[in-house]
Amino acid sequence: MAVTGKDRISYFRVFRLNGFLVATFGVALCVALPLCVVLSFLATTSSDVWQHLVDTLLLRYISNTLLLSFYVTIGVVCIGVPTAWVIAFYRFPGRQTLSWLLLLPMAYPAYILAYTYTGVLEYAGPVLTWMRASNMPDWVMSPFLNIRSLLGAALMLSLVLYPYVYLLARAAFLQQSANLMEAGYTLGQSRLSVFRRIVIPMARPAIAAGALLAIMETVADFGTVQFFGVQTFTTGIIRTYYGFGDTPGAAQLSSVLLGFVAILVILERHSRNRIRYYSDQMRRLDQAAQHLTGFSAFAAQVLCALPILFGFLIPTTLLVNWTIFDAQLQSLWQLAWNSFALAGGSSFLIVGVALLIAYANRLFPTRSLSYMTTFIGLGYALPGVVVAIGILIPFGIFDAWISELLTSWAVKPQLWLSGTLFAVIFAYLVRFLAVANGNVFSGLSRIRPSIDQSGRLLGLSQTGVLTRIHIPLMQGSVLTAILVCFVDILKELPATLILRPFDFNTLAVRAYELAGQERLIDASPASLCIVLVGLVPVILLNRSIGKL
Amino acid sequence: MNQQNKDALTIRDLTLYYGASRAVYDVNFVLKPLELGCLLGPSGCGKSTLLRAIAGFQPLTSGEIWLDGNLLTGPSVSVSAERRGVGMMFQDIALFPHLTVDQNIGFGLEDWPESKAEQRIHELLDLIGLHNLGSRYPHQLSGGQQQRVALARSMAPKPKLLLLDEPFSGLDTEMRGRLASEVRAILKSDGICSLLVTHDQREAFDFADRIAVMSDGCIRQFDTPFNLYHEPKSPFVAHFVGPGEMVDAKVSDPRSVLSPLGILTNDTDLGFETGSDVKIFLRPDDLVHDDDSSYTAILVEKHFRGAHHLYQVRLDNGVVLGCFAPSHHDHKIGERIGVSLDIEHLVVFPQ
């Protein structure tokens, strides 16, 4: 029987579909690997160490992680919501500038803020020296002395994570139709009552989503809690793995942490869904904003300036000061080169993979592809420590197996995968592919199918559509994706620390090492580098919001 | 003062500036209790601004707004929006997305005793025909259902006056006409005095007892739909409320004009000096297609409207006029057809 034209076309389509499917499936497998490895240990019988953990430390890990999350939630909501409210509902001198300066603390990884504040607040540091000299009572000094505590860690995390809440709450406030508030007034409600019954309840899902993102970062944090000696899941996992040498124990701890993260992810998705219903594109609040003058304007300025002062200006001033006058750091250039080359190469790779997945989804939108894409998006929620452990274990097994195989061929045993840059980049791919995906997908979705179709109707070939329409239009979002990945990788600490090759240092790792040796001042040049580069995407973010 | 007590809404000498630009000026009108009024005009004529001023969202430059004998806005008086007893239905519906239908309707009833509030909610749900959808959220309703819930919500606290700001503009034409009549029936049965803002003449005719036609910030004519259509006081109003053509004519005696259609005579004095040049306004229903008529014209354009045809015909002297024809009279363009005049009242404007 002859093959009809129709048959051939469908055969061709199925073939190509499989090509993209296989590639995406491969990436999904990469993301799934650490997850599956960690979870697979749930089935193994618990070791003595695990029993010891359950008896002694597990409860402390759980309570510390929950308590830290609780304090950070309070912190980010108390900073993020009032500032968003003031920026959205009032007009006062400096509002425009403050509205984007409030994003600056996002440039800081929490651990760098922790090193900086510890450096300035230590017993022999300038603040306490001055306090002692001016005979301050103990109860004034003690909070400063006790910065290295759970509360201190919560404060550091809140100062860098509140922008999540601020951004989402501000958008939620601004997107509420002014008519909704006016509807409240015409139904006899006072200003306060409208705020209580309409404005806040409608912004609640956005505030919740922001707080949940902050909590996800909090439970994944390693650098801050490790430095402050707060025993949480992340520090517990490292301690179990290295201190006790107990792989199953570390994996099982990771599984518990993953369970916690999974709950957060579900809650966050739920909040996001509600935000969609609550945003209204009609008349914006802009016209309804109230002008402030005199003392009330000053109060609004102070309210918005405080988080910027403590989250950015003070620590940056300190870092700059130490870098110029006090720090002793050799080989900063080497460190910077290592970091930038690693982050640059990885982010190119990651964004390339993201492009592949995005085009797969566009050209062959099938349900299995979209499921896989959603799954890949979960990588961002995986704490770096868990990713690292989940990679270390299978790579170690692979190395042992291949060495055994090769020894029989008289090849000297060595590490093929673990302790290589490949392992580090693999971890980055798992963790940051979701970030690149987000940017690339949103860029691609802006090119509506009708644009492709009109290009084809105007005589462009498929390649022509790609080169003359897609590439020019996608440039911006691809560059943003690369940049955001780059900075995220630069700030990443635990996965790099665990997986890096022996003697390979990055800025983040070196800052961590120096801080661990109490050489906080010497850590400042590396820290400053990370923060300054971290500023770039923050400024970009602000610009892309401004366009809305 | 006495007069204001009897009237529901009184607006006196209202003028409103946005900075230096004059948005609304010299507005005077009165709505009687239970009356359904309408502000009709093209976009940018100031009708929505006027409505927002009545609601208390827009300060006046001068003038007074009275409701049920109370001064709402005037020199040195401005009752805040929530204390006016004025309800409002918004163009974008503005249902609270985080509340159910019941909670939306009950939003303004917080101070009511619970049983009374519940009773009112039920009453309104019955009135808008959605009694089984009280526990739905707004996004689970169709556009028309949302509109009705928004109406019920604004009616719930029994406002003294209900303002409707182009509430049907988001809907398709058919739905619009149906809802306008439906809302009219609901408001009449609940006895709420209302003021609708719209740019759609059919919607206004479907809804209102009396219509204020606005342009460039002031009211051109405030009258019943019938009078606006048949006795417009200005060319603007004549054109805005329906199709028609201006034709040059000369006053031949106090009650007649000499026109391209011959001498046309009115029942009453026209109020123009004999011999003066005027324009007469002829609607398509003034010229009727009649196969038996000896007076003929050439068909130059036709629009089939289903129930009837709207023809454009050219008279022998070159004047083109609109003309209604029965649905079955399907003539071809270029054909010569018989027409006859059916004018009850002459609409005459000075040249």
* SS3 readout for A218-261: HHHCCHHHHHHCCCCHHHHHHHHHHHCCCHHHHHHHHHHHHHHH
Q: How far apart are CA A204 and CA A201, in angstroms?
A: 5
Contact A355, A440 (CB under 8 A): yes
| Contact flag B139-A277 (C-beta cutoff 8 Å) | yes
Token pair 């590439």 is found at A471
Strand order in the sheet with B262-265: B262-265, B256-259, B245-253, B277-282, B347-350
Q: Are A244 and A73 in contact (CB under 8 A)?
A: no
**Alpha-carbon distance values, B68 to A115, B1, B72, B180 (Å):** 69, 11, 10, 25
CB contact under 8 A, B96 and A182: no
Å from B89 to nearest chain A CA?
Answer: 8
Query: Number of Cβ pairs closer than 8 Å across A and B?
Result: 76
Q: With CA atoms as reference, report the closest residue to B126 among B68, B214, B189, B43.
A: B189
Distance from CA of B92 to the nearest CA of A (A): 7
pLDDT at B1 over 50: no
Query: Which residues on chain B are in Cβ contact (under 8 Å) with A280?
Result: 92, 94, 97
pLDDT of residue A288: 62
Which position has the token pair 């993209």? Answer: A20
Does residue A280 surpass a pLDDT of 80? Answer: no
Residues of A in contact with B157 (CB under 8 A): 187-188
Give the mutation candidate from A186, A193, A277, A285 for the B interface (greatest B CB count, under 10 A). Answer: A186
Cβ(A466)–Cβ(A383) below 8 Å: no
Percent of chain B exceeding pLDDT 90 equals: 34
By Cβ distance, the residue of A185, A197, A202 closest to B81 is: A185
Structure token pair of residue A116: 């900086």
Does residue B194 sit at the A interface (CB-CB below 8 Å)?
no
The pLDDT value recorded for residue A151 is 92
- Calculate Rg over the CA atoms of chain B: 24
The arithmetic mean of pLDDT across residues A238-244, rounded, is 85
Most A CBs within 10 Å, among B54, B84, B92, B162, to test the A interface: B92
Going by their DSSP bridges, the two strands B308-314 and B320-326 should be labelled as: antiparallel
Lowest mean pLDDT across A145-154, A169-178, A233-242, A486-495: A169-178
- Contact between chains at B157 and A280 (C-beta distance less than 8 A): no
Integer angstrom CA distances of residue A90 from A164, A206, A299, A423, A496: 21, 20, 12, 50, 44
| Three-state secondary structure of A389-417 | HHHHHHHHHHHHHHHHHHHCCCCCCCCCC
Nearest residue, CB atoms, B81 vs list A177, A186, A278: A186
Q: Nearest-CA distance from A314 to chain B in Å?
A: 41
Decide if A109 contacts A493 (C-beta within 8 A).
Answer: yes
From residue A382, give the alpha-carbon distance in Å to each of A258, B97, B114.
7, 33, 49
Inter-chain CB proximity A186 and B107 less than 8 Å: no
Amino acid identity of residue A276, one-letter, is: R
Token digits for A320?
């700059």
A-chain CB neighbours of B84 within 8 Å are 186
Name the burial class of residue A508, with classes exposed (0-12), middle (13-18) and buried (19+) by CB atoms within 10 angstroms of its CB.
buried
Test A183 with B157 for CB contact under 8 angstroms. no
Backbone dihedral angles phi then psi of residue A500, each to the nearest 5 degrees: -65, 155
pLDDT digits 0-9 by tens, A324-360: 888 776 778 888 999 999 999 999 999 999 998 888 8
pLDDT in tens, A259-273: 888 999 888 888 888
Note the pLDDT tens digit of each residue in A18-77.
677 788 888 888 888 888 888 888 777 666 666 777 777 888 999 999 999 999 999 999
Question: Taking CB atoms and an 8 Å limit, are B96 and A198 in contact across chains?
Answer: yes
Distance from the A273 Cα atom to the nearest Cα atom in chain B, whole angstroms: 12
Determine the residue of chain A that is closest to B158 in CA distance: A187
Task: Please report which residue ranges of A90-199 form alpha helices under DSSP H.
Answer: 95-101, 110-121, 126-133, 138-145, 150-175, 178-186, 191-194
Which residues sit opposite B37 in a β-bridge? B195, B210
Q: What is the mean pLDDT of residues A374-385?
A: 86
Task: In whole angstroms, give the CA distance from residue A246 to residue B216.
Answer: 82
pLDDT in tens, B67-90: 988 999 988 888 888 888 899 888
Residues of chain A in contact with residue B72, where contact means CB-CB under 8 angstroms, are none
CA–CA gap between residue B224 and residue A366 (Å, rounded):
60
Contact between chains at A185 and B82 (C-beta distance less than 8 A): yes
Q: Is B83 on the interface with A (CB under 8 A)?
A: yes
B97 with A277: Cβ contact below 8 A: yes
Nearest to A189 among B82, B91, B97 (CB): B82
**Closest-CA residue of chain A to B107:** A187
Which of A278-282, B264-268, B290-294 has the lowest average pLDDT? A278-282
Separation in Å, CA A153 to CA A63, A160, A172, A221, A292: 15, 11, 29, 10, 36
Tokens of A527: 């820290």
For helices B114-127 and B143-155, angle between their N-to-C axes, nearest 10 degrees: 140
Side-chain half-sphere exposure of A162, counting CA atoms within 13 A: 29
pTM, whole model, 2 decimals?
0.78
pLDDT band, residue A2 (cuts 50/70/90): very low
What does A423-442 look like in DSSP terms, one character per residue?
Answer: HHHHHHHHHHHHHHHHHHHH
Residues of B in contact with A190 (CB under 8 A): 82
Could you tell me if A261 and A387 are in contact, meaning their C-beta atoms sit under 8 angstroms apart?
A: no
Query: Please, are residues B208 and B198 in contact by the beta-carbon 8 Å criterion?
Result: no
A278-292, A344-358, A364-378, B38-52: least confident range: A278-292
Is the pLDDT confidence value at B314 over 80? Answer: yes
Q: Do A278 and B56 touch (CB under 8 A)?
A: no
Are B96 and B154 a contacting pair, CB within 8 Å?
Answer: no
Nearest to B82 among A190, A198, A204 (CB): A190
Q: What is the DSSP letter of A4?
A: P
The pair of three-digit structure tokens given for residue A250, joined into one six-digit string: 């570390």
Residues A87, A90, A93, A97: what is their CA dihedral angle, to the nearest 10 degrees?
20
A100 vs A56: CA distance, rounded Å: 46
As a whole number of angstroms, the distance between CA A66 and CA A63 comes to: 5
| Contact residues for B5 (Cβ-Cβ < 8 A; gap 6+) | B68, B69
More confident residue, A98 or A1: A98
Collapsed DSSP state (helix, strand, coil) of residue B222 = strand
How far does the CA of residue A291 sit from the closest CA of chain B (Å)? 16
- Nearest chain B residue to A281 by CA distance is B92
Nearest to B90 among A183, A193, A204 (CB): A183
Q: CA distances (Å), A329 to each of A46, A324, A491, A529, B147, in order? A: 45, 11, 19, 13, 69
Closest CA to A32 of A365, A374, A490: A374
Closest CA to A319 of A524, A120, A513: A524
Spatial neighbors of B199 by CB under 8 A, at least 6 apart, are B40, B41, B42, B43, B47, B166, B169
Cα distances (angstroms) measured from residue A161 to each of A106, A384, A515, A526, B334: 7, 17, 22, 21, 77
The answer to whether residue A17 scores a pLDDT higher than 70 is: no
Q: What is the identity of the amino acid at A472?
A: P
The answer to whether B94 contacts A179, with C-beta atoms less than 8 Å apart, is yes
Task: Say if the Cβ atoms of B94 and A188 lie within 8 Å.
Answer: no
- Which of B80, B88, B98 minimises the CB distance to A183? B88
- pLDDT bin (cut points 50, 70, 90) of residue A446 is confident
- The tokens of A167 are what? 């951004």
Q: Which residues of B touch A197 (CB under 8 A)?
A: 107
Cβ atoms A379, A430 nearer than 8 A: yes
**Contact assignment for B82 to A197 by CB distance below 8 Å:** no
Annotate B267-328 with DSSP letters as a single string: SS---S-TT-EEEEEE-GGGEEE-TT-S-EEEEEEEEE-SSEEEEEEE-TTS-EEEEEEETT
What pLDDT shows up at residue A10? 45
Could you tell me which residues are beta bridge partners of residue B77? B74
Of the pLDDT bands very low, low, confident and very high (cuts 50, 70, 90), residue A140 is confident
Rounded CA gap, B164 and B307, in Å? 31
- In total, chain A counts a number of residues equal to 548
A259 - beta bridge partners?
Answer: none
Identify the residue whose tokens are 């302790």: A419
Rounded CA separation B231/B221 (Å): 10
Q: Are A322 and A521 in contact (CB under 8 A)?
A: yes
Tokens of A392: 């270390």
Mean pLDDT over residues B297-308, rounded? 89
Residue A513 has pLDDT above 80, yes or no: yes
E strand spans, B41-99: 62-67, 70-74, 77-78, 86-89
Yes or no: say if B156 and B124 are a contact pair by the CB < 8 Å rule. Answer: yes
Which strands form B210-215's sheet, in the order they lie side by side? B86-89, B161-165, B194-198, B36-40, B210-215, B218-223
Of A187, A201, A282, which has the smallest distance from its Cβ to B92's Cβ? A282
Span A406-434, pLDDT tens digits: 877 776 767 777 888 999 999 999 999 98
Distance CA A432, CA A376 (A): 10
User: Is 0.85 exceeded by the ipTM?
Assistant: no
Instruction: Tell me the domains of chain A and their CATH numbers.
Output: 36-278+292-325 (1.10.3720.10), 331-548 (1.10.3720.10)
